[in-house]
Amino acid sequence: MRRWLAATVVASAAAVLGAGPAAACGGLIGPRGGVNLVKTTTLAGYHDGIEHYVTAFKFLGAGGQFGSIVPLPGVPTKVERGGDWTLQRLVREVQPPVAELADNAVGRVAATSASAQVILTAKVGALDLTVLSGGGTAVGDWAREHGFVLPPDAPEVLDFYATRSPIFMAAVFDGNAAKATGQQLGDGTPIHLTIPTSQPWVPLRILGLGRQAQERIQADVFLLTDRQPSLLPLDGNPGLSLERSESASGSLLADLHNDKSMDWVPTSSMWLSYLKVDSPAGSLTYDLAIDAHGGARPSPWAAGFGADQVALGGGVPGPATPAKDRGWTAALVVLAVIGAGGGLAGLAVATRKR
Amino acid sequence: MLRRCGMALAALALAACGGSAHAGPPVPPVPVPPVTVQLRIHHSHFQPDVLALPSGALVRFVVTNNDPIDHELIVGDDATQNRHEFGTDAHHDAPGEVSVPSGATRTTEVTVRTGFEYACHLPGHYAYGMKGTIRLR
Ligand SMILES: [Cu+2]
């Protein structure tokens, strides 16, 4: 275990230290709209009708408070600290073997209600998490009233998600508290959300929140499902690629299963999908719909497609009544809160639609 | 509107004449009501984003912000727009300049001239497309 963990520490640190516009996945909106970037990795696992979403905030050394708002597909039954190595182990699974390099290098790298309703609060490390129910405007109001500085595209993006799911999670990352507790540059705080749902989906559009249209958005998305899923969109979308689609290895499942709060992962018979997002923010106008039940019918509606986009996205008919569709979504959004410049918090979230 | 302006100018001329030819009190100028324009802000864009207005007219902009974030309305020429885009002044008390908090309706008046546009210069808003064109007729 130590060998692969060391390897991913190197990979993560490289991404952070070299973070420029090309390594964008999470961003922090500064006082004049500037964005600090870092690449973020998320896992969306789906087993026995339960969605497990795991992601991490990365500490980049700044003081002050920073926040994030994430659309959720439904009300989480549990919000807790994520496992210690799950995300790193997944990255390791899809990277070429670099164990020797790691051993050598590790030592060098340090709805639409009028107002939003608070459903659940939790504190994980330096993160204060609040699950909200409300439409895009209500959640935007709540965020503004709680010190979030929302970028100009936030109203449209919040509405984009609220029409499918009126559940969001707001996170505030206290950089000063992180410093006080000895967090190091690049340290992540993993978050694990447990969300019952019948059909998973992953929000991608939200990754571009606060970005200029030409800025590149990069992200790694891992899916663990009981069987090989059908995904939408893939064909004809150069910004989203399926890099790996295979039966999950026994060693991977065992490593994940043994991580903190990850015993829901079966130790056999799971399917691993690894997708890369590499797209200009202006082109990332869709989400990732997943049919995890073997029906080969991922919902265009769950992918955020309008009627005129369905044909481009694969021509799969949407649900007759979208309001009855169910799905969860995972998102990565980082917005500034009370922000002095610098630093970054990245957060992914899962959302389900009722 | 041109006709109204003409009437106002005529009234001013009469008043001036009256002041010199007669001993009675001066005749006050006939006030010219401003042209009123209703603007809506939705998803960080102005609706409408093109206005056709009489050249030299006094225009009252009534702007309603339906977004959950704050905005502003700045009506003016390039120099005015640049001053707000690249400056740090958050106070707007000049004609044609007003902050519009989330959910609020605000009003400002300004005489529109050649080269005017309207925009919001909160960070990133102009680049996002929060601007409108004024065509004079
Ligand atoms: Cu604005």
Quick: pLDDT tens for A299-312: 787 788 864 443 33
pLDDT digits 0-9 by tens, A110-150: 244 479 999 999 988 888 889 999 999 999 999 988 888 89
Please say whether the dihedral angle defined by the alpha carbons of residues A305, A309, A312 and A316, taken in this order, is positive or negative: positive
Task: Count A/B contacts: CB-CB distance under 8 Å.
Answer: 53
Q: Which residues are registered as beta bridge partners of A46?
A: A51
CB atoms A152 and B102 under 8 Å: no
Question: What's the predicted TM-score (pTM) here?
Answer: 0.73
CB atoms A137 and B67 under 8 Å: yes
What local confidence, expressed as pLDDT, does residue A96 receive? 61
* Span from the CA of A212 to the centroid of ligand 1 (angstroms): 15
Helix H or strand E segment including A128: strand A127-133
What local confidence, expressed as pLDDT, does residue A139 receive? 93
Tokens of A297: 């019918």
- Average pLDDT over chain B reads 83
Q: For A210, name the nearest residue in chain B, comparing CA atoms only.
A: B124
CA B5, CA B19: separation in Å to the nearest integer?
21
* Residue A210, number of CB atoms within 10 A of its CB: 28
With H, G, I as helix, E, B as strand and everything else as coil, classify residue A21. helix
CA A249, CA A271: separation in Å to the nearest integer?
9
First-last CA distance in chain B: 11
* Span from the CA of B122 to the centroid of ligand 1 (angstroms): 5
Average pLDDT over residues A77-94: 83
CB atoms B124 and A210 under 8 Å: yes
B42 contacts in A (CB within 8 Å)? 155
Q: Is the peptide bond preceding residue B48 cis, with omega within 30 degrees of 0?
A: yes
CA distances in angstroms from A253 to A260, A267, A282, listed in the order given: 13, 5, 36
pLDDT band at A241 (very low <50, low <70, confident <90, very high): very high
Question: What ipTM does this complex have?
Answer: 0.76
With H, G, I as helix, E, B as strand and everything else as coil, classify residue A170. strand
CA B67, CA B45: separation in Å to the nearest integer?
10
